[in-house]
Amino acid sequence: MTAGRHKLAERYKDRLEAGRRLAAALKHLRGQEDIVVLALPRGGVPVAFSVAQSLGALLDVLVVRKLGVPGHEELAMGAIAAGGGRAINQSVVVSLNLSPEDIAQAEAREKLELERRVKAYRGARPWPLLEGRTVVLVDDGLATGASMKAALESVKNWRPAKVIVAVPVAPPETIEEISLMADEVICPLTPPFFEAVGSWYENFPQTSDEEVKDLLARSDA
């Protein structure tokens, strides 16, 4: 694991700048030809674009959807990912006394949106070969890490040689959990008083579907 300092002055200007700083922390990968950068849309795509450009690597997306608690959808009880990845936050499930039916209903609802986004972002582009390659999973930051855990479960189905999680910011406890699932974790900022991912950016607008598709097209050019 590579962790950084957490001064408020070290906030990122925006996602592209965060990607450039993240790419600098990944400089040991430059020159390798077996790297695939997979972004978690939507916010992870601008970050991953900078990383892929710096590494000269292929950029693609792995769509993930959080499973919101019924009535409090902003609170994640887990996540699902394209390719069958699934992660459930058992502490949330137990503390809120959520039933298997609650989880199943959330999964069914989010699966529809997941499939829509896969079609919108990837279209007919072929899925990249991951077997035996180094996969770098990128998001704009982690809170509970549920989305990244689901992404990790999916990626492992394709038998990569190595999986690296690279994010600009996350709380230390989440990094520790993710480190148990990934071969390497790169995170320049690990503030103990985390609050939210957006707190560590000066500009943190919602990333649009159009921006995701534009960055993927620019990466392919």
Element (H, E) at 214: helix 209-220
Determine contact, residues 148/89, Cβ cutoff 8 Å.
no
**Contact 120/148 with Cβ under 8 angstroms?**
no
Q: Which pTM was predicted? A: 0.90
How would you write the pLDDT of the chain (221 residues) with one tens digit per residue?
A: 554 444 444 799 999 999 999 999 999 999 898 999 999 999 999 999 999 999 999 999 999 998 988 888 878 888 899 888 888 888 888 998 999 999 999 999 999 999 999 999 988 888 899 999 999 999 999 998 999 999 999 999 999 999 999 999 999 999 999 999 999 999 999 998 898 999 999 999 999 999 999 999 998 86
- Which residues does 61 contact at the CB level (< 8 Å), separation at least 6? 38, 39, 40, 41, 45, 121, 122, 212, 216
Domain ranges of the chain: 2-64+130-220, 66-120
User: Is the CATH code 3.40.449.10 the one for domain 2-64+130-220?
Assistant: no
